[in-house]
Amino acid sequence: KTGALINSWGSGLFIMPHGLEIDRDDNIWVTDVGLHQVFKFSLEGELLMTLGEAQVAGNDSNHFDLPTDIAVAPDGSFYVSDGYGNSRVIQFDSEGEFLLEWGTYGNGDGEFNIPHGIDLDASGNVYVADRENNRIQKFDALGNYITQWQNSTTDQLYSVVVDQKENKIF
């Protein structure tokens, strides 16, 4: 409640932690884009599961290429957005066994240009933030495309001007 640090862990373990999820059992899930791995920890920081091979990129059922985020379903199965190097979503069962994957690079339905964030709704639908395509795509639990929401306003180029004399950013 006060904002004081209660506990910390993981020092020396991560290269570039990127995605974070806390499941219904208070386990903490982390994707590390630098290690090409996904980790599951207890609330106390005990390592419970590791997926992927440290510092080895790949695109098969045992490897990731810069995974960005994770979403855990109520039954413990989970989805990983494998986004910077691969353009796919992978589903695993609660024990970390590969179930299925979908997605390729592109801008069509079910295609991604950096699937960056992922989440689930109460019905089990999967929402993927398709970063460079400026949209969110919605899928069912088996990866079947349902719909998308396109953000056309972010296609504009923005610039930042720094006035060092006035110490302002425009």
Per-residue confidence (pLDDT) for residue 73, from 0 to 100? 97
Per-residue confidence (pLDDT) for residue 159, from 0 to 100? 47
What value does the mean pLDDT take over residues 1-14? 89
Asked if 63 and 55 touch (Cβ cutoff 8 Å), the reply is no
Per-residue confidence (pLDDT) for residue 162, from 0 to 100? 53
pLDDT tier at 21 (50, 70, 90 boundaries)? very high
**pLDDT tens-place string over residues 71-95:** 999 999 999 999 899 999 999 999 9
The token pair that represents 167 in the structure block = 């110490």
DSSP 113-143: S-EEEEEE-TT--EEEEEGGGTEEEEE-TT-
Q: What gap in Å lies between CA 106 and CA 114, rounded to an integer?
A: 9
Per-residue confidence (pLDDT) for residue 9, from 0 to 100? 86
Amino acid at 19: G
Mean per-residue pLDDT of the chain: 91
**pLDDT tens-place string over residues 52-65:** 999 999 999 999 99
**pLDDT tens-place string over residues 125-159:** 999 999 999 999 999 999 999 999 998 875 555 44
